[in-house]
Amino acid sequence: MVDDLTPEQLQALAALGSEHGLPADLEDNVVNALQQRRLIVAGTGWRVAMRAAITAAAAMLIFLLGVGTARWLPTASPPVAEVDRQFILLLLEPIDAVLDQAEEAERVVEYRAWAGGVAAQGRLVAGEKLSDDRHFVGPRLAGEIESASAERVTGFFVVRAETLQAALSLARECPHARHGGRIEVREIQPT
C-alpha cells in the first residue's frame, strides 16, 4: 500500500502535539480531585483501615435501613460510576399475569437484591415499580390498541453502562427475565 503522506510528513505527524508537555500543576490538581472523591486515600496504616471499616459499616447500616422502607431499592446507593451512557430497562409482563401477595413479596425481595448488586457497582440510577392502573392523555388510538396490547410495563430500572452489550448483560441477570417477563432495553438519549 502506498501511503499518501511522505515519510517526513508522517514523522511530523507523529511529533504533533509533542511540544505540549504536561502542565506542571495538573498532576496535583488531579490528585486533589481524586482525594475529594475519596479515590485516593490520604495517609496509611491502621487509621486508614479503621476509617474504611467504619465507612463500610455505616454504608451497610444505611443500606439495611433503606431496604426496610424502599420497595425495590436501597435508599442510599453508593456513588454512581461516571459512565457516559444510561439505559432504561422496561420490565414487561403479559397483560393477564396475576401474582398473589406472597409471590409479589418474594419478587420484591429478589428484585431488591439484584438492584442492590447493581447499586454496589455504582451503576444504578433509578428504579420503581409501576401501578397497574393506566391513564392516557391525548387522542385515543384507533381500536383502543393500547388496552389490547399483550404486555404492560410493570416497572423500570435506569442503569449506567459503557455499552449496549453491558446493559443487556445487566438485564439478563435481572430476576424479571427468570420469571418469564421480558425486558426492553433502550438507551436514554441526552437532549
Partner 1 sequence: MTAAPAIAQDSRPDRSLVQAYLHRRGEREFRSLYRRHGTALYRFAVLRVGVDAAEEVVQETWIRAARQLPEFRWGSSLRSWLTGITLNCCREALRRRKRERGLEIAPPVASPGAETRLDLARAVSKLPEGAREVLLLHDVEGFTHAEIGRLLGIEIGTAKSQLSRARAAVRRALDSTGEQRHG
Q: What letters, b where the CB count within 10 A reaches 16 and e where it falls short, cover 23-44?
A: eeeeeeeeeeeeeeeeeeeeee
Window of 21-29, 68-76, 136-144, 150-158 that interacts with partner 1 by CB under 8 A = 21-29
**Orientation angle between helical segments 46-69 and 101-120, nearest 10 degrees:** 150
Q: Do residues 63 and 76 lie in contact, with contact meaning Cβ atoms separated by under 8 Å?
A: yes
List 14, 137, 145, 148, residue binding partner 1 (CB under 8 A)? 14
Dihedral sign for Cα atoms in the order 56, 57, 62, 65: positive
Of 15 and 137, nearer to partner 1 (C-beta) is 15
Does 20 interact with partner 1 (rule: CB under 8 A)? yes
Does 31 interact with partner 1 (rule: CB under 8 A)? yes
> With CB under 8 A, what is the number of residues at the site for partner 1?
44
140 DSSP 8-state letter: P
137 DSSP 8-state letter: -
Joined together, the cell numbers standing for residue 66 give: 433503606
Window of 5-13, 92-100, 127-135, 151-159 that interacts with partner 1 by CB under 8 A = 5-13
Residues 115-144 that bind partner 1 (CB under 8 A): 121-122
Q: By the criterion CB under 8 A, which residues form the site for partner 1? A: 1, 3-5, 9-10, 12-31, 33-35, 37-42, 44, 48, 79, 81-84, 121-122
